[in-house]
Amino acid sequence: GVIKMRLGAHMSVTGGKYMALERGKELGCQTIQVFIRSVRSWAAKPLIKSDIDDFIKIKEELKEDIWPIVSHNSYLINLASIDKEKLEKSYNAMLDELIKVEQLGIELENMHPGVIPMSDKNEISKKEALIQIANQLNKLIGETKGSKVIVLLETTAGQGKGLGNKFHHLSTIIDKIKALFGLMFLINQG
């Protein structure tokens, strides 16, 4: 069958993760995107059972109206970083995101492929950075084996040393991914 485009918006989780669904319903959204953890801090608290239960309950009630639900990862995550500490933080934050979206029953995790900071532009090529991203994704897929969450690689505007603004960037990543069943593309038109 044909899948029709579904329209929605990014919804706040202030007041509880389930509030994003309530807000989406109020606005007539057919789909929503959320942040499930702080996008500007490495620190992340574990999900509270009541928050998980409330989200899953409302998600089930609205399953005919609002789907799919997309989580967008933290803006700090950069799987292309050559700084070992930042790469480790990025990997751990992404793993935390994947575990939490699974707990909430969210189907899709959206991420920007990464960026090469201007200070590192002479240390790593775009191709090397893209291969590193693929290697990190392979590790994440391995650590979350059995998860139903699909990772979306979102296209980017391509300022500076951003990665993902050209289809061959995404192709380079895809070529190195061992298990494609957990990966899709999201073309950002906004």
Q: Is residue 160 part of a domain?
A: yes
Q: What b-and-e string marks burial along 102-123, b requiring 16 or more CB atoms within 10 Å of the CB?
A: bbbebbbbbbbbbbbbeeeeee
User: What confidence score (pLDDT) does residue 81 get?
Assistant: 94
Q: Is residue 2 part of a domain?
A: no
State whether residue 93 is helix, strand or coil.
helix
- Number of domains present in the structure of the chain: 1
Q: Is residue 3 part of a domain?
A: no
Whether the Cβ atoms of residue 149 and residue 109 lie closer than 8 Å to each other: yes
pLDDT digits (tens, 9 = 90+) for 92-106: 999 999 999 999 999
Full residue range of the structural domain in which residue 110 is found:
8-186
pLDDT digits (tens, 9 = 90+) for 95-134: 999 999 999 999 999 998 899 877 777 788 999 999 999 9
State whether residue 168 is helix, strand or coil.
helix
pLDDT digits (tens, 9 = 90+) for 25-60: 999 999 999 999 988 899 999 999 999 999 999 999
Q: Is residue 34 part of a domain?
A: yes
Q: Is residue 46 part of a domain?
A: yes
Segment (H or E) for 108: strand 108-111
The rounded percent of the chain whose pLDDT value lies above 70 is 90
Which single residue is written with the structure tokens 């059972």? Answer: 49
CATH classification of the domain holding 146: 3.20.20.150
pTM for this predicted structure: 0.91
Q: How far apart are CA 45 and CA 37, in angstroms?
A: 8
